């Protein structure tokens, strides 16, 4: 029973250090789950850190329907920040937290390019070097999991001409499908999917979320997340949830929004 756990990039921004979403706190929460026997594969974003890195170099950031428009300079920065700084700091925090929690697993930081584990094609030339996942080779991830390691994946995929920047939610859904994970958990900076009154929904069907999108209640970064939930559910991932960082820190009790293929019975 594998859980793919996606940590939102907004939680990993440098300015979050020390706040509720700090890396050490998140790593400790993940380590407690691993110590309790949960097999885990992590996927992370790094949106906040990447935007800050680009801003420091006067490179503008532009999003289209929740996806980062990725020119050549942004792709280079994405490789450095996502597969570099964010991935390695998170891996280091986990390798501090795992033994402290009594977990035998050790974290290995990598991305979709390693072992060509997640492959992608250019999604839409207008978005630049943005990938749409087309497949991949799960052997490396399976070998790591079987040997007791905890893969930590930055959301860069193997494209036909080099790395492609893939939305981390869509990357996580692809990883969950490829690894036939039982559970996919999106940990983000809101408590769950919020309704028109700003309240988190306990459960929501894909159809209900599409309605919220048409009503303008669901937008921005939640759009690729919705597409990722759909992808994962259609690939047979049984439980797909969107939760806040506070819920991850609090423990395994149900929280946030469970997304279902159809209306809950
Ligand atoms: N109906 C909604 N419910 C909850 N959040 C929503 C909704 N509509 C839009 N959002 C936005 O979606 C954001 C979460 O997506 P976002 O892509 O910013 O974070 P993430 O996926 O956790 O991080 P990253 O993309 O860096 O990995 C929320 O912070 C909120 O601003
Ligand atoms: Mg996102």
* pLDDT tens-place string over residues 106-119: 999 999 999 999 99
For the CA of 47, the nearest atom of ligand 1: 26
Q: Where are the alpha helices (DSSP H) in the chain?
A: 23-35, 47-56, 72-78, 87-100, 139-146, 168-178, 206-214, 222-234, 245-250
Instruction: Please provide the DSSP assignment of 81-143 as one string.
Output: IIIIIIHHHHHHHHHHHHHHTT---EEEEEETTGGG-SEEEES-GGGBSBEEEEE--THHHHH
Q: List residues with catalytic annotation.
A: 6, 9, 47, 169, 225
Q: Which ligand is nearest to the CA of 215?
A: 1
Q: Confidence band (pLDDT; 50, 70, 90) for 67? A: confident
Looking only at Cα atoms, what is the longest distance across the chain? 52
Atom 23 of ligand 1, residue of closest alpha carbon: 8
Bigger pLDDT: 105 vs 49? 105
Mutate to test the pocket of ligand 1, among 61, 190, 229, 242 (most ligand atoms within 8 A of CB): 190
Per-residue pLDDT, averaged over 158-187, amounts to 97
For the cut 60, the answer to whether the pLDDT of residue 182 exceeds it is: yes
Asked if 97 contacts 28 with a C-beta cutoff of 8 angstroms, the reply is yes
Residue recorded with tokens 């559910």: 233
Percent of the chain with pLDDT over 90: 84
Mutate to test the pocket of ligand 1, among 220, 227, 256 (most ligand atoms within 8 A of CB): 220
Strand partners, 188: 244
Architecture of the domain whose range is 2-184: 3-Layer(aba) Sandwich (3.40)
For the CA of 189, the nearest atom of ligand 1: 29
- The answer, yes or no, to whether any atom of ligand 1 lies below 6 A from the CB of 219, is yes
| Domain assignments of the chain as residue spans, ordered by start | 2-184
| Nearest CA among 154, 171, 172, 175 for reference residue 111 | 154
- The answer, yes or no, to whether any atom of ligand 1 lies below 6 A from the CB of 47, is yes
Helix (H) or strand (E) holding 203: strand 203-205
Q: Ligand 2: distance of its center to the CA of 7 in Å?
A: 9
- The answer, yes or no, to whether any atom of ligand 1 lies below 6 A from the CB of 168, is yes
| Tens digits of residue pLDDT in 127-146 | 999 999 999 999 999 999 99
Q: Confidence band (pLDDT; 50, 70, 90) for 66? A: confident
Q: Ligand 2: distance of its center to the CA of 13 in Å?
A: 13
- Around Cβ 160, how many Cβ atoms within 10 Å? 11
| Cα 198 to Cα 130: distance, rounded to the nearest angstrom | 31
How high is the pLDDT of residue 219? 93
- Around Cβ 225, how many Cβ atoms within 10 Å? 27
Instruction: Please provide the DSSP assignment of 250-265 as one string.
Output: H-SS--SEEEESS---
Q: Ligand 1: distance of its center to the CA of 209 in Å?
A: 14
Q: From residue 133, give the alpha-carbon distance in Å to each of 20, 48, 50, 130, 190.
A: 32, 22, 21, 10, 26
- The answer, yes or no, to whether any atom of ligand 1 lies below 6 A from the CB of 8, is yes
How high is the pLDDT of residue 13? 66
Mutate to test the pocket of ligand 1, among 221, 227, 244 (most ligand atoms within 8 A of CB): 221
Q: Confidence band (pLDDT; 50, 70, 90) for 15? A: low
φ/ψ region of 55 (left if φ > 0, alpha if ψ in -120 to 50, else beta) reads alpha
Lowest mean pLDDT among 1-10, 16-25, 202-211: 16-25
How high is the pLDDT of residue 21? 40
For the CA of 222, the nearest atom of ligand 1: 12
Identify residues whose C-beta is under 5 A from ligand 2, the ion: 221
């Amino acid at each position: 029973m594998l859980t793919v756990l996606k940590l939102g990039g907004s939680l990993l921004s440098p300015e979050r250090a020390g706040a509720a979403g700090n890396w050490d706190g998140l790593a400790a929460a993940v380590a407690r789950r691993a110590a309790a026997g949960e097999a885990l594969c992590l996927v992370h974003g790094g949106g906040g850190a990447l935007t800050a890195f680009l801003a420091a170099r006067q490179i503008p950031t532009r999003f289209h329907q929740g996806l980062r428009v990725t020119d050549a300079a942004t792709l280079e920065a994405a490789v450095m920040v996502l597969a570099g700084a964010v991935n390695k700091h998170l891996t280091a925090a986990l390798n501090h937290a795992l033994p402290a929690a009594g977990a035998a697993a050790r974290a290995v930081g990598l991305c979709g390019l390693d072992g060509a584990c997640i492959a992608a094609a250019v999604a839409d030339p207008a978005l630049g070097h943005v990938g749409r996942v087309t497949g991949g080779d799960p052997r490396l991830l399976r070998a790591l999991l079987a040997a007791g390691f905890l893969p930590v994946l930055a959301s860069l995929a193997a494209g036909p001409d080099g790395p492609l920047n893939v939305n981390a939610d869509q990357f996580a859904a692809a990883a969950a499908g490829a690894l036939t994970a039982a559970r996919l958990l999106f940990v983000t900076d809101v408590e769950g999917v919020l309704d028109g009154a700003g309240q988190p929904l306990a459960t929501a069907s894909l159809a209900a979320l599409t309605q919220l999108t048409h009503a303008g209640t669901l937008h921005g970064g939640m759009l690729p997340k919705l597409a990722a939930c759909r992808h994962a559910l259609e690939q047979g991932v049984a439980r797909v949830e969107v939760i806040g960082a506070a819920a991850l820190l609090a423990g395994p009790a149900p929280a946030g929004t469970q997304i279902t293929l159809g209306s809950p019975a």
